[in-house]
Homo-oligomer: A and B are copies of this chain.
Amino acid sequence: MQQTPLTIDSIFRYVERHHGDKTIVTNSPTGPVRTTYAEWAVRTRKLGGVLDTLGISADGRVGTFAWNSARHLELYFAVPSTGRVLHTLNIRLFPEQLTYIANHAEDEAVFVDRTVLPLLWPLIDTMTTVRHVVVMDDGGDNEIPDDERVSLYEDLIAAAEPIDFRVEDENTAASMCYTSGTTGNPKGVLYSHRSTVLHTMAVVQPNVFGMAETDVVMPVVPMFHANAWGLAQAGPAVGAAMVFPGPMMQPKALADLIVDEGVTFTAGVPTIWQGVLPELAGRDHKLRDIGCGGSAVPKALSEAYRERVGLPILQAWGMTETHPVATSARLPRRLFDGSDEDKATYRARAGVPFMGVEVRIVEAGTTDELPWDDVATGELQVRGSTTALDYYKPDAGVELATPDGWMKTGDVAAIDATGSVRIADRTKDLIKSGGEWISSVDLENAIMSHPKVKEAAVIGIPDPKWDERPLACVVVVEGEELSADEVIAHITPMVAKWWLPSAVEFIDEVPKTSVGKFSKKDLRTRFADYQPS
């Protein structure tokens, strides 16, 4: 057989040659902007020329600091297709983290959306390797600094010549993401061309997202986070039309875009879909799947979508270190005739890995595999072609892999007989009470099934007798009233008696991380000296 490397430029050439007429839509403060893959491809080739002109090293890191857009998609392809490494900077990180990451990756340039320029520019002198700041005008009106490092994206494209792309070695580094870890410095994960193509082919299969030429794909999951769950490569690889929200991330703007553009597939974190639900409920749409992951999808949320939008949420699980998709909870054939309740319970799982990813659970700190009986819980570990085994220039003492070559996820999970994963908790979020573990995720799911609860996060608080006890931090739906006793009464039939939270605190909002996950670290800090009354 012919030895053709698995490279991102082969995805580029495919969509350029076969699907030039398909559209790419990017939303903006002044309304949607339309282009086609044909026009996009010319610009992407010109962007390759720009990178040469700017003098970016042959394998240099090129940062982006941008919303989801057709321009960001140009960077997603031009940077790796010229042999360089795309480094997507998370616009929601703290300034110190951004500086650390840009310097750690040794970014030579940063391509920044004008709407978020004020978040980046004040840091630019701390980013010691950045020689170029290229501003992409996404409809914002922020002032553009008069500085020799600064140039305008459209000026550079207009002046550039299109170039040929051809990466010869599929193991060449293609892109990198830093995980916004809750302890220590952020850690960089490096994706290769090969791993990117294999991940792309995996997520387009019907067991996962099931993407086709007939789809209109809208990645709400940010392109600055975890490789946009592979959607930015998967859409082009099958010739799907693309829709990008740009900076217009408000729930109503997202719902309008879904309806107006005939979006068939979209994906984002649970908090996004929580916000979009009331804006989308009852409207005509063409959605066939709503992908969701990043943190556990509450069963109540998925069921609310099934009842009010017409389709349940499709949960997937993974992490930056797994490219990121590793499992998906597509309803299996055996449940076709199952009850709504059984189906909803299944959909709340992380699901089954696709062929190419292996999973196991082990007794913490050992390589002793635990049974797949859906009861035993242990640390979830994965391996496969799309799995990282180490970080980019890791700090001493940071070890991602086990001695026998599996990746430690930090999640605690059970696995059923079909290998479907059920995430019990993050290792660090488990509550240890009287020598037994309590799953904060299960408690949150139970509490969030109360119709008056908007959000809930459960953390462990120190307890002299039991070591730790659960504290439920609950956000009530606006205009509603709820008591601690009502919360406890609601979940009493759902969980073991000794799991019942020792206290319920009502808060205004659950603090979120930069990627929209519940930040339990912040809650733990806030309630560090908490005493149940």
Give the B-binding residues of A (Cβ under 8 A): 1-4, 6, 10-11, 13-15, 17-22, 171, 190-192, 194-195, 198, 201-202, 204-207, 210-214, 237-239, 241, 323, 330-334, 336, 352-353, 355-356, 358, 383-389, 405, 407, 417-419
Which B-chain residue is minimally distant from A1 (CB atoms)?
B195
Q: How far is the CB of A5 from chain B (nearest CB, A)?
A: 8
In the complex with contacts A18-B419, A238-B355, A239-B207, A384-B213 CB distance below 8 A: no
Q: Are B190 and A330 in contact (CB under 8 A)?
A: no
Q: Which of B239, B330, B389 contacts A2 (CB 8 A)?
A: B389
Q: Are A2 and B201 in contact (CB under 8 A)?
A: no
Q: How far is the CB of A354 from chain B (nearest CB, A)?
A: 8
Q: How far is the CB of A40 from chain B (nearest CB, A)?
A: 16
Bound together, the chains give a CA A194 to CA B419 distance in angstroms of 25
**27 cross-chain CB contacts under 8 A:** A1-B191, A1-B386, A1-B388, A2-B385, A3-B385, A4-B383, A6-B198, A10-B355, A10-B356, A11-B355, A18-B352, A18-B353, A18-B419, A21-B418, A198-B201, A201-B201, A201-B202, A201-B205, A205-B206, A205-B211, A206-B212, A206-B214, A207-B213, A213-B332, A214-B332, A237-B355, A239-B352
Bound together, the chains give a CA A378 to CA B389 distance in angstroms of 48
Q: Are B192 and A1 in contact (CB under 8 A)?
A: yes
Q: How far is the CB of A17 from chain B (nearest CB, A)?
A: 5
* Residues of chain B with a CB closer than 8 A to A194's CB: 1
Bound together, the chains give a CA A358 to CA B21 distance in angstroms of 18
Main secondary structure of the interface of A (DSSP, over half): loop
Q: Are B419 and A214 in contact (CB under 8 A)?
A: no
* Residues of chain B with a CB closer than 8 A to A419's CB: 17-18
Q: How far is the CB of A422 from chain B (nearest CB, A)?
A: 14
Bound together, the chains give a CA A19 to CA B194 distance in angstroms of 27
In order of increasing CB-CB distance, the 10 nearest A-B pairs are: A206-B212, A1-B195, A18-B419, A14-B355, A201-B201, A4-B385, A237-B355, A214-B333, A2-B387, A204-B205
* Residues of chain B with a CB closer than 8 A to A331's CB: 214
Which B-chain residue is minimally distant from A240 (CB atoms)?
B333
Which B-chain residue is minimally distant from A210 (CB atoms)?
B206
Which B-chain residue is minimally distant from A233 (CB atoms)?
B355
Bound together, the chains give a CA A389 to CA B2 distance in angstroms of 6
In the complex with contacts A195-B1, A355-B11, A419-B17, A330-B212 CB distance below 8 A: yes
* Residues of chain B with a CB closer than 8 A to A14's CB: 355-356
Bound together, the chains give a CA A252 to CA B291 distance in angstroms of 42
Which B-chain residue is minimally distant from A401 (CB atoms)?
B2
Bound together, the chains give a CA A191 to CA B6 distance in angstroms of 17
In the complex with contacts A192-B1, A355-B11, A213-B333 CB distance below 8 A: yes
* Residues of chain B with a CB closer than 8 A to A201's CB: 198, 201-202, 205, 355
Q: Which of B22, B239, B334 contacts A21 (CB 8 A)?
A: B334
